């Protein structure tokens, strides 16, 4: 190592590093449309690109802020099972991956559950953070989901979930797969109690998540251009040996083929879901009134006879 490498190069390097990281971290970001976007413009536009409309991913807290009335919500505590029960290791240990994901997201796991109001309706909302090992769904996510359902049932209020996941968590193997049936059973409990359950599929929603709770909503909504599917596009293409259309597995394609009900821009999600819940809850109220009036008619008929 000569004196140039030792003394001058690191200094020059650090000078450039500092400058570029400062610019990148604080002011600017990029988009798939390859435009440079002022971060503040992106944030004030619900994290959607002001130039191409692309919906950028949100953390759970950012999601709650875009959705709840006046950005007010309370994060509910959910059970956290024991870490890494299978002592899984690939090129990195699962416990190291968990540590890293926790430091990036400041969350215990990928799912957060919150309570708040939308158009003045009390509601429980769940969201997934894709930065937490691809939003993968393992035991902790399952526990959080079920706790959310329990809160909704105990308080008789709607449950809305924003999916954003690559599927079940590989590092938890069959424990992660079990969550598919557990969450399905939990959703059934909501349905038995006539509690509205709405899912918003955001980019991406794939694998076991699509094959369980994410497609069981009373109303299925997706954000524009979100990837929605079970198996990956290449796997399907190689299996069916046909060229698939470019828009295959996009929210719009899935809606066109009857897989989901609506594709709604992020800025309209809160108002649309609020309106839908108003309709659903009023309908339930009417149904309850109808039932009680039927009971009183039956009673009066019985007393008359
Ligand atoms: Zn863009």
Over residues 12-27, the pLDDT tens digits come to 555 555 544 444 467 9
CA of 192 to the centre of ligand 1 (A): 43
Report which of 203, 267, 204 is spatially closest to residue 66, judged by C-alpha positions: 267
CA of 12 to the centre of ligand 1 (A): 33
Predicted structure pTM score: 0.86
Report which of 38, 29, 52 is spatially closest to residue 265, judged by C-alpha positions: 52
Contact 39, 28 (CB under 8 A): yes
E-assigned strands of 14-61? 28-30, 36-38
Give the pLDDT confidence of 216-231 residue by residue, as tens digits: 999 999 999 999 999 9
Residue 175 burial (10 A CB sphere; 0-12, 13-18, 19+): middle
CA of 60 to the centre of ligand 1 (A): 22
CA of 107 to the centre of ligand 1 (A): 28
CA of 246 to the centre of ligand 1 (A): 19
Give the pLDDT confidence of 116-159 residue by residue, as tens digits: 999 999 999 999 999 999 999 999 999 999 999 999 999 999 99
- Going from N- to C-terminal start, the domains of the chain cover 57-291
Give the pLDDT confidence of 147-195 residue by residue, as tens digits: 999 999 999 999 999 999 999 999 999 999 999 999 999 999 999 999 9
Of the candidate CATH numbers 3.90.226.10, 3.50.30.20, 2.40.110.10, 3.30.1330.40, the domain formed by 57-291 belongs to 3.90.226.10
Can you say whether the dihedral through the CA atoms of 23, 25, 28, 32 is positive or negative? positive
Cα separation values, 199 from 1, 81, 245, Å: 59, 25, 26
Confidence of residue 272 (pLDDT cuts 50, 70, 90): very high
């Amino acid at each position: 190592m000569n004196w140039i490498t030792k003394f001058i190069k690191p200094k020059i390097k650090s000078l450039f590093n500092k400058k570029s990281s400062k610019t990148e971290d604080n002011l600017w970001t990029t988009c798939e449309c390859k435009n440079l976007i002022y971060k503040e413009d992106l944030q004030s536009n619900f994290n959607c690109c002001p130039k191409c409309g692309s919906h950028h991913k949100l953390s759970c807290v950012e999601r709650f802020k875009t959705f709840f009335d006046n950005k007010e919500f309370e994060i509910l505590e959910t059970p956290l099972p024991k870490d890494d029960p299978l002592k899984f290791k690939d090129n990195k240990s699962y416990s190291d991956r968990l540590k890293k994901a926790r430091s990036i997201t400041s969350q215990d796991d990928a799912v957060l559950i919150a309570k708040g109001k939308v158009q003045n309706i009390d509601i429980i909302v769940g969201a997934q953070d894709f930065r937490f090992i691809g939003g993968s769904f393992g035991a902790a996510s399952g526990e959080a989901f079920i706790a959310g359902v329990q809160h909704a049932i105990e308080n008789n209020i709607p449950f809305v979930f924003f999916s954003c996941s690559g599927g079940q968590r590989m590092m938890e193997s069959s424990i992660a797969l079990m969550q598919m049936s557990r969450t399905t059973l939990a959703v059934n409990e909501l349905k038995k109690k006539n509690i509205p359950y709405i899912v918003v599929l955001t980019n991406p929603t794939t694998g076991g998540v699509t094959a369980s709770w994410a497609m069981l909503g009373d109303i299925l909504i997706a954000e524009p251009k979100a990837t929605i599917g079970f198996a990956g596009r290449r796997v399907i293409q190689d299996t069916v040996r046909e060229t698939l259309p470019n828009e295959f597995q996009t929210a719009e394609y899935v809606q066109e083929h009857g897989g989901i009900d609506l594709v709604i821009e992020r800025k309209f999600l809160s108002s649309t879901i609020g309106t839908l819940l108003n309709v659903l809850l009023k309908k339930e109220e009417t149904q309850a009134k109808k039932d009680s009036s039927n009971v009183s008619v039956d009673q009066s008929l019985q007393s008359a006879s």
